[in-house]
Amino acid sequence: MGILLNKLKAAAKFIANRSDLTVNIFWDLFVWNNSVLHICEYYSIGYTSRMTFSFTIQKKRGRARAGVLKTPHGEILTPAFVTVGTKATVKAMTPEQVSSIGAQVVLANTYHLYLEPGDEIVRDGGHLGKFMNWHGPTMTDSGGFQVFSLGAAFDSDGTGRRGVGKIASRGDSGAPKKEEDDNAEQTADDFKKTPHEALAKIDEDGVSFKSVIDGSAHRFTPERSMEIQHNIGADMFFAFDECTSPHAPYEYQREAMDRTHRWAERSLAYHSAHVKRNEKGAPLQALFGIVQGGRHEDLRKESAKVIGSMNIDGAEFDGFGIGGSFDKEDMYSVVGWVNDILPEGKPRHLLGIGEPADLFGGIENGADLFDCVAPTRIARNGTLYTATGRININNAKFKKDFGPIATGIDGKTCTCYTCAHYTAAYLAHLFRSEEMLAATLATIHNLHFIVSLVKKIRETLLDETFDVFKVDFLKNYYK
C-alpha cells in the first residue's frame, strides 16, 4: 500500500511540473466493521498563479469563431455552453456528474448566493469552486437580472405578474400583441410605475430591493455587486447593469443604457483595485462588461462602442456580455450589431440563451459563450431534448416503452449515462412516482444534449461543415 501511494504522489508531482498544475492532496480514511478497507487519495488540481487569462481564435467563419479561453482553472473550448449552478449547485446533479457530461464551466448566481448562504460564507468556504467541489472554470453574474426582474422590467402587463422573460415574441403575424401595444404607448416615467416598484427601486447609485426569501431590505450598487462577486471568488465576473424588458419604451431603454455605462465604469474601477493578481501583476479574475440597449440598433451599437472601449486608469474589460431581453425576431440582428463593434480578441457571452435554434443563431453572429437554466428546469418537469424535438416523458405512450429514452444530436441513440442505462418506461415510472432520481436522470440527459450540441457546432466550424449541420439539425429538431 505504501509503495503504491508513493508512486501516486510521484505521478501527481510529475503532472504538476509538466502542466503548470498544483496538487492538493486530501486523505479520507474509510472504516468498515472497525477494519481499514482502503485509503483514497483525492487530487484537487488547479492552475497555479502563473496562469492568467487569454483568448485565442482558432478559426473564423463570417462572424462565427472557434477559440480557446484560458482561465486559472482550465481551458474552455469555445463556443461553449455554460452550465448554470444558481446556488453553487447544478440542480439534481453532483459536480462529478456535471463534469462527466462534458461541461467545461459553471455559472453561479450572485443575487441568490448573497441571500443564501451569504457571500462571506462562500468566501470562508474557500470560494465558489472549492465550496461546491467544482475544479473547473467558474463564473458569476452580477445579480442585476434577478434584482430587476422584481421591478418594471418584467411586469409588462401592469398586473404585478412576471409577464415577460428573456425573450419575447411579436406573434406569428409579426404584429405586436396587446400587452406590447400597451407598453409602446407608455412614457419612460409611466413604465417605471408598476405594482412591483416597492420590491425594486432604482436610482443613480444603485437599486434597493426586498429579499424573495423573507422580505428583508437590501441594496446593490456596482461596488457592492463587485464586492460580493469577489467574495464568491469565481474566475469570471460580470459588471453590474440594468436589465430592461424588450417592451420598455425607447426613452427608458436609453436611460437604462446610460446608467449601465456609468455603473460599468464604477464596476471596472472597483474590480481593478481589488482583483487578485499573480507575481507578475496579471489579474487572476476577469471582468466582463455588459452591452445593453434593447432591440434598438442605435442604442446597441452605442453601448458596444462605450463598453468595448472603456478604460479606467489602464484597466479594460476582459470580455463582454450581451445582456437585456430580446424580441425573438430581433435577437440575431442585435447580436450581430454588437459583435461587429466589440473588440475581436475578447470573448462574448450571450446571457440567458439556450434554445437550440438560438445557439446556432448566436454562434453564427459571433457569440462564444451561452448560459441558460432551461435544460435543467424543463428536465425536472419531465421534458427531454431529442434530435426530433422535445418530448414529455410523462406522456402515456412511454409507460410501456422499454426502448431507449431519446435520440442524441446525431439522430442515433443518445450516449449519455441516462440513456445508456435506463429505458423510457423506467424514467416515466420515476416521474409518475415522484422519485428524486427522475430529476437527476432527466437533467443528465438534457445537459449532455445541449453541451454536446454546442461542442458539435464547434467541430463543424473547424472542419467547415457548419452550414450543412445547421440545416440538417434544425430541419429535424423543429419539424
Give the amino acid at 186: Q
- What are the residues facing 319 on neighbouring strands? 288
Give the burial class of 43: count Cβ atoms within 10 A of its Cβ; 0-12 exposed, 13-18 middle, 19 or more buried.
middle
Query: Cα separation of 162 and 154, whole Å?
Result: 5
* DSSP assignments along 224-265, one per residue: HHHHHHHHHT-SEEE-------TTS-HHHHHHHHHHHHHHHH
- What are the residues facing 74 on neighbouring strands? 71
The C-alpha angle 187, 188, 189, rounded to 5 degrees, equals: 90
What strands lie across the sheet with 207-210, from one edge to the other?
200-202, 207-210, 217-220
Catalytic, out of 119, 141, 155, 358: 141
Element of type H or E holding 21: strand 21-32
| Residue 106: DSSP 8-state | E
Closest to 361 measured CA to CA, from 474, 255, 195, 194: 474
Catalytic, out of 241, 358, 368, 371: 371
Report whether 393 contacts 427 (CB < 8 A). Answer: yes
Closest to 141 measured CA to CA, from 304, 349, 292, 425: 349
| 472 carries an active-site annotation | no
Three-state SS for 289? strand
| 371 carries an active-site annotation | yes
Query: Cα separation of 382 and 278, whole Å?
Result: 46
The C-alpha angle 400, 405, 409, rounded to 5 degrees, equals: 155
Give the burial class of 248: count Cβ atoms within 10 A of its Cβ; 0-12 exposed, 13-18 middle, 19 or more buried.
buried
| Grid cell in block for residue 384 | 427531454
Cα–Cα separations (whole angstroms), residue 115 to 146, 217, 259 = 12, 11, 25
Cα–Cα separations (whole angstroms), residue 254 to 182, 324, 415 = 19, 12, 47
Closest to 349 measured CA to CA, from 107, 19, 16: 107
Q: Which residues contact 65 (CB under 8 A, 6 or more apart)?
A: 57, 58, 59, 78, 366, 368, 461
Report whether 421 contacts 436 (CB < 8 A). Answer: no
Which residue numbers are catalytic? Answer: 141, 371
